Each structure stands twice: as structure tokens, then as C-alpha cells.
Structure 1
């Protein structure tokens, strides 16, 4: 039976949002810890993005809030999809493959 713990790489987690600062941090991490040693990187990278709830994004309650909720939720899903796609493209451009 193989010792899988010895074979596992340390995990590096980078949290991102849709800001330029966030993507700069991801790019910096890729440049300094992952891309230079690809494909034999010493780390496993996990990129995390959290989509806020529509309730927190609306920030108010009252008449009309229920009408706005589906639109806000749809916009938040689109933003989250763009963030994830941009992160994938950045990783790909640095020759860091997803796994």
C-alpha cells in the first residue's frame, strides 16, 4: 500500500474577488510559487471565490426587495462566472494546469 501522504503536495490557497488587486495577488503567487517550476510545482493551488448572497448585496429590505432579488442573484452569478474564468485564463497563461 503506497503512502499517499508522502506523495501529496502542500496546499496553497488564494482567495479572489473581482478586483484588480485580487488578480494581481493571484498572478504574483503564480509567478513566485508555481509557474517557474511547472509542471513539477511543489504546491497544489486552490483558488477560492465566494459569491455573496443577493440579500447581502441588496442591503435593504422592504417593498420591492423581493422583485429585485432574482436580478441581483443573476448578476452575482455572472460576476462569479467571470471571476472564475479570468482566474482559469491567468493560470493557463502561466502554464499552471488545473487538476
Structure 2
């Protein structure tokens, strides 16, 4: 018997540094999946500014999907 999986999305507005806010929200809501966007910065700019998506991919306690902008080369 096949049943359709259910998807629940949560909207939570929080102040703070995005990489920490996102990882904290994963724990708070017991998320199974975190979807984040990527600006497609080059390696130098990413090294200087840091990367929220990269941080989340390494620190979130769930699977992370990074969605790049259309036409992004990175």
C-alpha cells in the first residue's frame, strides 16, 4: 500500500546571524530537511564573507539541500 508522504513547512522569523539561526531552527523544529539558497559567490568572496549554505551543510543536524541561482557557475 502506497501512501503519499506529508510535507510540513515552518515559517519562523528570528533575528541573528543566519547560519546560526538556521541550524538552531533545525534543532528547534526537529527538521528532517533544510533547504537553503546559494548566492554563487566565487571562492575568494566566499572565503572573505563565509558561506551560510556551507556552514549549514556541515553543522545542521539534518540533510541540507543547497539551491543555486539559475545560471550560477559555482
- Is the helix fraction higher in 1 or 2? 1
How does the TM-score come out when normalised to structure 1? Answer: 0.39
How high is the TM-score relative to the length of structure 2?
0.48
